[in-house]
Amino acid sequence: MFSDQKSFQETFKKRLEQSYSISFDDSTRAQQFVTLSQMVREHISSEWIETNERQRQEKKQTYYLSIEFLLGRLLGQNLINLGLYETIQSWLDDIDIPLEELEDIEPDAGLGNGGLGRLAACFLDSLASMGLPGHGCGIRYKHGLFEQKMVNGFQMELPENWLRYGYVWEVRKSDLTVEVPFWGSVDVVEREDGVKFRHVDAEYVKAVPYDMPVVGYGGKTVNTLRLWSAETSSFSLNQDVLKYKKDTEAISEFLYPDDSNDEGKILRLKQQYFLVSASIRSIIQRHLSNGGELRSLHERIAIHINDTHPVLAIPELMRVLMDDYQLSWDDAWHVTENTFAYTNHTTLSEALERWPIRIFRPLLPRIYMIIQEINERFCKSLWDQYPGDWDRIERMAIIAKDEVRMAHLAIAGSHSVNGVARLHTEILKNREMNEFYQFQPAKFNNKTNGITHRRWLLKANPELTSLLSETIGEGFKTDATELSKLALYVEDPAFLEKLSRVKRKRKDILTKLIYERNGIKVDPTSIFDVQVKRLHAYKRQLLNVLHILALYNKVKHEPSFHMPPRTFIFGAKASPGYFYAKRIIKLIDSVAELVNNDPETKGLITVVFMENYRVSLAEYIIPAADISEQISTASKEASGTGNMKFMMNGAVTVGTLDGANVEILEQTGPDNIFIFGLKAEEVMAFDRDGGYRSMDYYHHDPLIRRTLDQLVDGTLDDKGLFGVIYESLLSENDQYFVLKDFEAYRSAQEAAGRIYEKNPQQWRKMMVKNISGSGIFSSDRTIKEYASEIWKI
């Protein structure tokens, strides 16, 4: 199919005409995209089949369970991994079809939101690229999270219709459908071989699998991402059919439905059980069909839980082993504990899921029984270790205070618990999960996150990839640590000039995109200062925008003040129910209106908020960035992966010593990163002691006072929109230390601007140091550690 240019072009045209009953000359870009993608998928199929057959003989394989897989677009990435991108690009150019235009037709798959989902996607790429047997299990969301639309500066949420025209990369596997039970009751059956349990009067939902190929670099391994879609099963004549259909389809309709009420909580819990129940039975069926034994399942299968959302996989595996295959509790528990591993992604206690028993028990009666038994046995082991310490046992219990604690269940039921950056893991061990660490220290380990450089360098930045290839060879494409060779060129003026031209090329591309989408003309010679990530108070987009407002004030009121031109670029979605975060988005827009239109600051300070941030947009933004904003409150960000993507593309970090920034500092050296603000131990000490007096900073720093007053004095808004932000900083004690870190942040930004403007050659050397030190943050390295130390594959 791709053997030579002539046969490719003939096949391409013939397929398009037969598929759409239209002449090739009249075809649209969308029809051309679908035709090409179908050809690529068929090309992949033979290796996909061979991979599946080969993996039947593998000693062990991994299944990665995640509520999110933030894949991005796949056409270009698949062509790169197959080694066909430049060839197909050339062959299409010959018939006047720009490949880039076809890539832009593809929707981003609506399967994730932020770093959790993007990490899962990177891990799948690395598993396949390293030839390892590793597959993903997730949910096929019909409408994703949401499509963000900005209306008068306010975020509005629309359904993410990424499946509107179907999805060319998926294969529906109706014959592998399983049924997932909800509600009902548990029937106890006395039999000669003991007491058995049976779920009765349940409401069943069909879980229909859609398989997607995960193409490894080089195209020799094609693993599988299996996504489950919820569909109606058989129903009784007494049922309210329309309600049953609506409730069923809601399970796989949206990612993260609002859980501020009981109805939303039930839906989220349904989603989580739906994912794990379907996945566990699919995994076991495949294991048995490959000749495996259930008592040795853990010797052939590793199942990884990505955060707490899939934790119900633990009691579900127990249920299947005991109820469906008659294993004893002890045998089933031995298999279960040695099969599962758990990654924690947060230090925020509110993100550690807890479910009210009054909701949990009726919805999942048999699963609740099993968790009760796990809890009883776990608490007994705690009692044996800490006799009489009822307070400790209550704190560590899986069920307590009328709640089921998912993180506690994950720790109890897994043989490995890992954090995602060295600092994060130490915080888990010494603070958030200290009592669990004391009880079972051998379970805890660190696996610092990584990114796939094939997406975030080869795909996102072909200009830099080409420069690196001609400078240090192509070995970095399969071994990212070879990027360290670039350090030899840090003093090479010719290379530094080429690197500068590459950055300018990417800035020109983004400049054009910003004008097309936002109608804002930005100066590509200005500093591109970028913060793109999920909108949350701890990530401190607020610190960034208050600093912009402070710069505006200094320009307006200090005649001697000088700053190099800066373009501040934001991209972020706020959770639909997160009022405070949505108000920060409105604040960014209002500050943009102010500074972009004031004659004294226009062209000197430009603020751009890019709507509907997603993977395909990130691929434009990240390669163009000069400054990478990684300014979370120290101790609150588990790792971050955006910091790694920016670093790999030559941006210089302005950040706190939080998450993986600590390890980035080690790779770049202190002269090639701008670190500021409180350290993690200082933040945790303030938290223990009740915070700090934020009002002191307001009274003693005139710049802070003027800037904060503008939130409420009508400068930005005359409707009181930003009073809630003002109050959170002053009356509510500034939970995330925005004001305490403000002056340190301002100084770090000033230092970065000074070097960029006054010493461009030094800035270019800093870019080289960042790129050359980024190889350790490849997800290949992370997966190698998981594979050898946790999964044993």
For the annotated catalytic residues, the residue numbers are: 345, 533-534, 539, 641, 645
Token readout for 118 is 């993007």
Helix (H) or strand (E) holding 301: strand 301-306
The span from the CA of 629 to the CA of 641, in Å, is 12
Residue 576 · residue 113 · CB < 8 Å: no
Nearest of 643, 114, 216 to residue 455 by alpha carbon: 216
Token readout for 734 is 């500034």
Residue 661: what residue type? N
Residue 547 · residue 745 · CB < 8 Å: yes
Q: How many helices (H) and strands (E) does the chain have?
A: 32, 23
Nearest of 229, 272, 235, 269 to residue 253 by alpha carbon: 229
Residue 709: what residue type? D
- Alpha-helical regions (H) of 29-72: 29-55
Token readout for 441 is 């220290």
Residue 683 · residue 431 · CB < 8 Å: no
Q: What is the residue-wise DSSP string for 368-414?
A: HHHHHHHHHHHHHHHHHHSTT-HHHHHHH-SEETTEEEHHHHHHHT-
Q: Which residues contact 601 (CB under 8 A, 6 or more apart)?
A: 552, 555, 556, 595
Residue 570: what residue type? F
Helix (H) or strand (E) holding 189: strand 185-191
Bridge-partner residues for 630, per DSSP?
Answer: 655
Residue 419: what residue type? G
Nearest of 36, 205, 133, 129 to residue 787 by alpha carbon: 133
- The alpha-carbon radius of gyration of the chain (Å, integer) is 27
Q: Which residues contact 758 (CB under 8 A, 6 or more apart)?
A: none
Q: CA dist 604 to 397, 552, 555, 592, 638, Å?
A: 57, 9, 9, 12, 35
Residue 589: what residue type? D
